[in-house]
């Protein structure tokens, strides 16, 4: 999200310094080699952007900004995104504050439920104002936790904050815990874009945009700050970005642990200028969840234009590529989930962010990238899955 996106919500919803290479940077002087030999399952081919279908099986156009995707452990995959308009079965076409979509092939999607039934779900911490965006979902124990941003608008609103709801399934019914914290309380302007990372029985949240990327620890259930607000304020840790608003700063953090490293994916650039958006994804890695995270050149992600580019805009395939998540298919291959503007759409649809996925490859330098670092738009092999289609 950026300033323009936040200002439009009612309608549509690091410390600066020199950095030296660290021991987790790639020391090889040889050219990076990427193995593209397994692009995916040719029997589950797809083309971006992904397709959505209403309850009657009719394809419909669904904007899907700030997407997140999980394996539901029931043979299906589930996708979540910022509030968006679409057909909600018997409820008809309307604004859905917390849409939940289901697919069995990770390519074709159908609405299954909503996390919110209306503004009453926000009672007690936002007065029904602002939009709901940038969800992140994780299973903790036997419970699926849905984290989201809620704000009244304005890039530096102290009332932008993060809330949580829980469910025994990926699609509900949801129990609402409301606000975990807001920007004013935690001391981080623009406290948005939560990501939850569980390790060794501890639950962490990374978040932030414009005022740095931060980590705080949550309780074991992931429903509140561990040891309360005062402890979180005193012990929060910045892992990337500036402590100031700057157009090339980072947001939309996602942490992946792989091959003995923590990989921090961040989005940077303008997210919401339609086809002119410069949003793109970069990544750094560290031997510690708390950093320092460095790119393949060994430079820390403590200022703009750092990190290795994972994917960036392409004039004919997709622009504004960002706010990513990562999901593994049935074969264990990594897939990048993100939004983009599709230049091939018609009329005003070109100015809507839609759902893309692309195969994530790993190079000999130990860093991930999409092929050619740009979106695919042609028909390509898709994820390996157990079932096909929107229903099993």
- Among left, alpha and beta (phi > 0; psi -120 to 50; other), residue 242 is beta
Claim: this prediction has a pTM higher than 0.75: yes
pLDDT of residue 304: 80
Kindly report the three-state secondary structure assignment for every residue of 211-259.
Answer: CCEEEEEECCCCCCECCHHHHHHHHCEEEECCCCCCCCCEEEEEEEEEC
> Is the CB of residue 329 less than 8 Å from the CB of residue 383?
yes
The pLDDT tens digits of the residues spanning 256-291 come to 999 999 999 999 988 888 999 999 999 999 999 999
Distance of CA 294 to the CA centre of its chain: 20
pLDDT of residue 246: 64
> Is the CB of residue 251 less than 8 Å from the CB of residue 266?
yes
Nearest to 84 by CA among 111, 121, 47: 111
pLDDT of residue 130: 66
pLDDT of residue 201: 92
pLDDT of residue 117: 80
**Which strand ranges, in their side-by-side order, compose the sheet holding 195-199?**
195-199, 202-207, 213-218, 237-240
Residues forming a β-bridge with 150? 132, 161
- What is the C-alpha separation between 345 and 11, in angstroms, rounded? 22
Nearest to 164 by CA among 207, 222, 100: 222
> Is the CB of residue 307 less than 8 Å from the CB of residue 282?
yes
Residue 93, judged by CB atoms within 10 A of its CB (0-12, 13-18, 19+), counts as exposed
Q: What topology is assigned to 3-382 in CATH?
A: Tachylectin-2; Chain A (2.115.10)
pLDDT of residue 1: 46
- What is the C-alpha separation between 19 and 368, in angstroms, rounded? 22
pLDDT of residue 25: 44
Residues forming a β-bridge with 163? 148, 179
pLDDT of residue 234: 98
pLDDT of residue 4: 36
pLDDT of residue 303: 82
pLDDT tens over the chain, length 392 residues:
443 333 333 323 333 333 344 444 444 457 899 999 999 999 999 999 999 999 999 999 999 999 999 999 899 999 999 999 999 999 999 999 999 999 999 999 999 999 998 766 666 666 555 678 999 999 999 999 999 998 765 555 667 889 999 999 999 999 999 899 999 899 998 899 999 999 999 999 999 987 889 999 999 999 999 999 999 999 999 999 876 666 668 999 999 999 999 999 999 988 888 999 999 999 999 999 999 999 999 999 988 889 999 999 999 999 999 999 999 999 999 999 999 999 999 999 999 999 999 999 999 999 999 999 999 999 999 999 997 766 65
């Amino acid at each position: 999200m950026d300033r323009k996106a936040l200002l439009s919500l009612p309608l549509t919803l690091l410390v600066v310094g020199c950095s030296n290479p660290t021991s987790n940077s790639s020391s090889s002087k040889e050219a990076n080699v990427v193995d593209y030999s397994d692009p995916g399952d040719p029997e589950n081919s797809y083309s971006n952007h992904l397709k959505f279908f209403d309850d009657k099986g009719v394809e419909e156009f669904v904007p899907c900004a700030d997407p997140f995707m999980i394996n539901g452990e029931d043979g299906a995959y589930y996708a979540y995104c910022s509030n968006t308009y679409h057909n909600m079965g018997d409820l008809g076409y309307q604004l859905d504050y917390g849409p939940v979509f289901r697919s069995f092939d990770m390519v074709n999607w159908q609405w299954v439920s909503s996390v919110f039934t209306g503004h009453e779900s926000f009672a007690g911490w936002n007065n029904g104002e602002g939009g709901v965006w940038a969800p992140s979902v994780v299973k903790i124990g036997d419970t699926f936790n849905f984290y989201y941003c809620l704000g009244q608008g304005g890039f530096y609103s102290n009332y932008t904050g993060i809330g949580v709801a829980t469910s025994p399934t990926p699609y509900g019914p949801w129990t609402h815990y409301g606000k975990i914290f807001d920007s004013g309380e935690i001391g981080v302007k623009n406290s948005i874009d939560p990501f939850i990372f569980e390790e060794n029985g501890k639950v962490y949240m990374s978040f932030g945009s414009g005022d740095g990327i931060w980590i705080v620890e949550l309780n074991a259930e992931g429903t509140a700050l561990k040891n309360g607000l005062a402890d979180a304020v005193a012990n929060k840790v910045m892992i990337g970005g500036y402590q100031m608003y700057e157009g090339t700063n980072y947001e939309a953090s996602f942490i992946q642990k792989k091959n003995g490293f923590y990989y921090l994916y961040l989005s940077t650039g303008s997210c919401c200028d339609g086809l002119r958006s410069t949003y793109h994804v970069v990544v750094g890695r560290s031997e510690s969840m708390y950093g320092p995270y460095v790119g393949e050149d060994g430079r820390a992600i403590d200022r703009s234009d750092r990190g290795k580019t994972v994917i960036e805009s392409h004039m004919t395939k997709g622009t504004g590529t960002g706010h990513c998540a990562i999901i593994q298919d049935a074969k264990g291959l990594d897939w990048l989930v993100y939004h983009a503007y599709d230049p091939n759409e018609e009329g005003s649809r070109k100015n809507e962010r839609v759902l893309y996925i692309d195969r994530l490859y790993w190079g000999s330098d130990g860093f991930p990238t999409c092929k050619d670092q740009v979106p695919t738009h042609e028909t390509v092999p898709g994820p390996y899955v157990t079932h096909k289609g929107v229903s099993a």
